[in-house]
Amino acid sequence: MYNRKEWKHIFKLDPNKEISDEQLTKICESGTDAVIVGGTDGVTLDGVLHLLSRIRMYTVPCILEVSTMDAVTPGFDFYYIPMVLNSQEKKWMMDIQHQAVKDFGHMLDWNELVAQGYCILNPNAKAYQLANCSLPTEEDVVAYAQMAEHMFHLPIFYLEYSGTYGDSQLVKRVSRELEQTQLFYGGGITNKEQAKEMAAYADVIVVGNSIYDNFDQAIETVQAVKEG
Ligand SMILES: CC(C)=CCC/C(C)=C/CC/C(C)=C/CC/C(C)=C/CC/C(C)=C/CC/C(C)=C/CC/C(C)=C/COP(=O)(O)OP(=O)(O)O
Ligand SMILES: O=P(O)(O)OC[C@@H](O)CO
Ligand SMILES: [Mg+2]
């Protein structure tokens, strides 16, 4: 139905934050390739359902990035499943996901599930702290990318700088390692120049917080990526 491999730009909407109807229309009609609903904390079923019902008025593909099983509902096009590669606890890479599959595996449409190998690089990000991550060196990051591609065959490797703009040279280096696995970059993209810079190396850039901080500039990131 959708060719995820062709996507270049995604907006990530936080069910824990407010967005007006007018802004949501602009997001969904911006030309972005998809909208992810997700966040680290304050993600409730009510918040997710409210956003889903509003996004569903548009044709844009809609994805739930599952951060808690308490807020999962049918109706999304895809379910992205984070696995935190640089967590110091196996729980965030394997055990939560294992338990969810034990509980819900019998009712899953596996075609809708997409695993994401997360490498979280901003120590101040909530997700970094929640998942008890350690800060990898560049060599560590490259090795995680190689494992994602060649050992785990993950569909997505996600360089996550949530809340801060990352190192484009590292994104470039990682991009050289990946052929089958899609490279996502997310974090601190606030304008079209930054969007272009990261999109030169990442397959997909994800724009989150700037939707809430500087809406007009966030919208401009779509065109910047599509032009490039
Ligand atoms: C019935 C049906 C429709 C089912 C489909 C879905 C389903 C039930 C699948 C089951 C299979 C499965 C394996 C589920 C596991 C789900 C799960 C709970 C995984 C754990 C996820 C995890 C490791 C969470 C830790 C936090 C994290 C990495 C979140 C990722 C998103 C992220 C980084 C958000 C941005 O965070 P941040 O900017 O730091 O914070 P803000 O919220 O302030 O923006
Ligand atoms: O919110 P920002 O910093 O844009 O990051 C986007 C996304 O990667 C967060 O998971
Ligand atoms: Mg966020």
- What is residue 2's predicted lDDT score, i.e. its pLDDT? 86
Kind and range of the H or E run holding 198: helix 192-199
Residue 207, ligand 1, Cβ within 6 A: no
Share of the chain above pLDDT 90, in %: 98
Which listed ligand is nearest to 186 at the C-alpha? 2
Quote the pTM value.
Answer: 0.97
pLDDT tens column, 152-165? 999 999 999 999 99
CA of 39 to the centre of ligand 2 (A): 9
CA distance 180 to 178: 6
CA of 222 to the centre of ligand 2 (A): 15
CA of 37 to the centre of ligand 2 (A): 12
Pair 183, 175: CB distance under 8 Å: yes
Low-confidence spans in the chain with pLDDT less than 70 = 228
CA of 37 to the centre of ligand 1 (A): 10
162 is in an annotated binding site: yes
Say what the ipTM of the complex is.
Answer: 0.94
**Residue ranges of E strands in 100-155:** 113-120
Which among 166, 163, 110 is positioned nearest to 141, based on CA atoms? 166
40 is in an annotated binding site: yes
| C-alpha distances in Å from residue 34, one per residue of 43, 87, 203 | 19, 27, 14
12 is in an annotated binding site: yes
Residue 66, ligand 1, Cβ within 6 A: yes
CA distance 117 to 122: 16
163 is in an annotated binding site: yes
Q: Which residues line ligand 2 (CB under 6 A)?
A: 12, 160, 162-163, 186-189, 206-210
**Ligand 1 binding pocket mutation candidate from 11, 13, 36, 40 (most atoms within 8 A of CB):** 40
**Residue ranges of E strands in the chain:** 9-13, 34-37, 62-65, 78-84, 113-120, 156-160, 182-186, 204-207
**What 8-state DSSP symbol labels residue 152?**
S
- What is residue 165's predicted lDDT score, i.e. its pLDDT? 98
Instruction: Give Cβ neighbours of residue 131 (< 8 Å, ≥ 6 apart).
Output: 84, 87, 89, 92, 120
Which listed ligand is nearest to 191 at the C-alpha? 2
- What is residue 1's predicted lDDT score, i.e. its pLDDT? 75
Residue 126, ligand 1, Cβ within 6 A: yes
CA of 14 to the centre of ligand 2 (A): 10
- What is residue 33's predicted lDDT score, i.e. its pLDDT? 98
Measured on CA atoms in the order 8, 13, 14, 17, is the torsion positive or negative? positive
